[in-house]
A and B are shown apart, each in its own frame.
Chain A
């Protein structure tokens, strides 16, 4: 006997009746509090800097910064500035948008492991950001040469910055 025995349910493809389409009556607009740490982080981005926080007890550097060290469960001790350079931890090429529609151009995005002067990090815990990678094509992604590649943050011109991670236009692959 194969269980489950006669599983029930009525699948359907697309029907006109009776389904109720409930379009959004006004979109819910949210105003998120940036918070103590990210508030300063975003202000730093507007000035062209990537800031992070340090817990002196365990030595961890947090980017995106936190107000507390999640591991020692105490307040962080100070702020530091990343150099803007880093290496690629992982990278992908996306052919779809957030809505699942096909994108016009493949987008290369990845996680960048950032460098902070005076600190060194292994791969277990490191300051890192999700962002676009420019200066690389989807072919570069496919032949796996980008892992560990050096990148540098390219900021938008100061008048276009608004205090968001998009003030960094992308992380640019440094030349050979």
Chain B
């Protein structure tokens, strides 16, 4: 079996997905959250725990849930006891890295049916605020003495993007408006707001200019899960498996003060890896729907360009023209993204993968995009402006 540039044993498909609610604080323990999502994914696939042979778990810093070795802690709730289990972690990019790692398990022939689970409980790091955990991400020697807040780095990237591409805050706020409205069709959404306008975003509390409160995704608890199966198994499980056509992932350095911030080079490379495998050379035309990572509204634009879905500095124009709405020519984040559904760090990316899965199957209901969907893409981003993970799925 070959894809371009790649030799592997089995084609792999996604056959089920599950999500919990995404909210600021959830009562369930981290394992219970993982179980809720995993169970829903198994039910959708018509499988039981006995049918699963391997488990992949993704979860972001242990410092959020406040339990060390969080992957192992979650294993039981993710169905991963007495089985091969692996935890993967690339910060926010984890959510898309989890199905990538699950793909390795199935494509190699090592496993037949893989359960991939991502969970995050940020509310545990309660005092002073979960955002304080991000304090540990900075270089201890040259950055921490300045006491930076993580929002600074995003504000700097956003401001540089605005400068290089001549974009105003109003244009960027359109993304927050689109996503928070889109989220109203999502049963798990934390921040659905059907009436939100650009003025609301621009008038919200200024945190670090140019970032306002409504430009940022919320702190959330939540979990997501998908079930992957190799070709033979997938066809037995469902009539509509969604094939994984391409995967890509790239890491850059943490020395973010040494590079041009207006363009995410590492996302471009991850996307190229996935496109090469999927046989895509014109992503703008060949991708029908995309879920790029949007922890901030400008990030959706930034990533659209890194993914090649828009030319450099073209993404705000496409947004303004309505091309990225659900009824547009290139729907972007029909789920409502992180801005609308929520941002439990690792689970958020997997929520996007689940969205593409349901869109391709025509099961997104109120969120289903207007145009027919054959190929979709989900992308996540993480760490200190470093990691890009991309997955291309289709039928």
Contact in complex: B25, A38 (CB < 8 Å)? no
B135 at the interface (CB under 8 A from A): yes
- Shortest C-beta distance, B17 to chain A (Å), equals 7
**Chain A contact residue count (CB 8 A cutoff):** 63
A105 at the interface (CB under 8 A from B): no
The listed residue (A10, A91, A166) touching B156 by CB distance below 8 A is A91
A159 at the interface (CB under 8 A from B): no
Given contacts A4-B17, A7-B188, A34-B141, contact A147 B28 (CB under 8 A): no
The listed residue (A4, A11, A89) touching B26 by CB distance below 8 A is A11
CB-CB under 8 A from B210, the residues of chain A are: 92, 142
Contact in complex: B156, A95 (CB < 8 Å)? no
Contact in complex: A9, B26 (CB < 8 Å)? yes
Contact in complex: A7, B40 (CB < 8 Å)? yes
Closest Cβ neighbor of B359 among chain A residues: A3
Contact in complex: A99, B132 (CB < 8 Å)? yes
B363 at the interface (CB under 8 A from A): yes
Contact in complex: A97, B155 (CB < 8 Å)? no
B33 at the interface (CB under 8 A from A): yes
- Shortest C-beta distance, A89 to chain B (Å), equals 7
CB-CB under 8 A from B148, the residues of chain A are: 98, 109, 130
- Expressed in whole angstroms, the Cα–Cα distance for A21 and B253 within the complex equals 36
Contact in complex: A147, B132 (CB < 8 Å)? no
Closest Cβ neighbor of A123 among chain B residues: B260
CB-CB under 8 A from A3, the residues of chain B are: 17, 44, 354, 358, 363-365
CB-CB under 8 A from B379, the residues of chain A are: none
- Shortest C-beta distance, A67 to chain B (Å), equals 13
A44 at the interface (CB under 8 A from B): no
CB-CB under 8 A from B260, the residues of chain A are: 123-124
Given contacts A3-B358, A9-B20, contact A166 B146 (CB under 8 A): yes
- Expressed in whole angstroms, the Cα–Cα distance for A94 and B158 within the complex equals 13
- Expressed in whole angstroms, the Cα–Cα distance for A91 and B209 within the complex equals 9
Number of A-B contacts (CB under 8 A): 183
- Shortest C-beta distance, B361 to chain A (Å), equals 8
Q: A50-66 vs B: 1/0 string, CB under 8 Å?
A: 00000000000011101
Closest Cβ neighbor of A19 among chain B residues: B126
Given contacts A4-B187, A9-B222, A11-B21, contact A96 B146 (CB under 8 A): no
- Expressed in whole angstroms, the Cα–Cα distance for A4 and B364 within the complex equals 8
The listed residue (B156, B185, B358, B366) touching A110 by CB distance below 8 A is B156
Question: Which residues in window 91-117 of A have CB below 8 A to B?
Answer: 91-101, 106, 109-111
- Expressed in whole angstroms, the Cα–Cα distance for A43 and B279 within the complex equals 52
Given contacts A96-B207, A125-B259, A128-B257, contact A38 B365 (CB under 8 A): no
A6 at the interface (CB under 8 A from B): yes
B residues whose Cβ falls under 8 Å from a Cβ of A? 17-21, 23-28, 33, 36, 40, 44, 66, 126-129, 131-132, 135, 139-143, 145-149, 151-152, 155-157, 159-160, 162-163, 185, 187-188, 206-211, 221-222, 253, 255, 257-261, 354, 358, 363-367
A residues whose Cβ falls under 8 Å from a Cβ of B? 1-14, 21-22, 30, 32, 34-35, 38, 41-42, 62-64, 66, 70, 89-101, 106, 109-111, 123-132, 138, 141-142, 144, 147, 164-166
User: Lowest 8 CB-CB distances: which A-B pairs, in order?
Assistant: A2-B365, A11-B23, A9-B21, A92-B155, A90-B160, A128-B257, A10-B27, A9-B20
